[in-house]
Amino acid sequence: ETSPVSMQTAADDELEMRVTRVGRTHPHLESKIIDEHGRIVPRGTTGELCTRGYSVMLGYWNNPQATSEAIDAGRWMHTGDLASMDERGYVQIVGRSKDMIIRGGENIYPREIEEFLFTHAAVADVQIVGVPDSNYGEEVAAWVKLHVDSDCCEETLRAFCKAHIAHYKVPRYIKFVDEFPMTVTGKIQKFRMREVMVEELNL
């Protein structure tokens, strides 16, 4: 949809920027980060990343409805990426808008929890999804693949989380798995993970 590069770091950017950011907006392109009402958010605030310029596609082939859902009247491409932009214009992606979990009014970004859990020595891979909850609207569920021969348990992982992250981000449900549901092209199917949890937990 965006040809596909809208931002990039430079070879002489400091290492921290090169490994934690997607860069700054390319010349002759525009970028903005907006809230759910379409208003530009302050620097450092999370919102949806939009881009506009010569690199944005004209539209989806023979699909005007999908085109109108992705590109607004001002020719801004709504990427669906949740991001923030710092004072120097560097953008950091924090997740996908469709994956964001809203628990008791708190916005939770799965990628943040995933990256945190990766720091645990027993965790080989992890995916975070939101599942329905009658009290909070949604709860956090973690699918965890452990390293071979690891004997880590739910209580250990939950205690690790409670010691380092906000209480509302601590997974309510933890499921240990050997693999994740994936498409034939290797993309994680988080919607399928949600379906499995709803069925198994009778939510």
Residue-range domains of the chain with CATH: 7-97 (2.30.38.10), 100-201 (3.30.300.30)
Q: Cβ atoms within 10 A of the Cβ of 169, count?
A: 20
Per-residue pLDDT tens over the stretch 58-79: 999 999 999 999 999 999 999 9
The pair of three-digit structure tokens given for residue 198, joined into one six-digit string: 């709803």
The pair of three-digit structure tokens given for residue 8, joined into one six-digit string: 């990039």
Q: What percent of the chain has pLDDT over 70?
A: 100
Q: Look at 38-42, 93-97, 101-105, 111-115 and tell me which has the smallest mean pLDDT.
A: 93-97
Among 81, 79, 144, residue whose Cα is nearest residue 114: 144
Per-residue pLDDT tens over the stretch 144-183: 999 998 889 999 999 999 999 999 999 999 999 999 999 9
Q: Cβ atoms within 10 A of the Cβ of 118, count?
A: 11
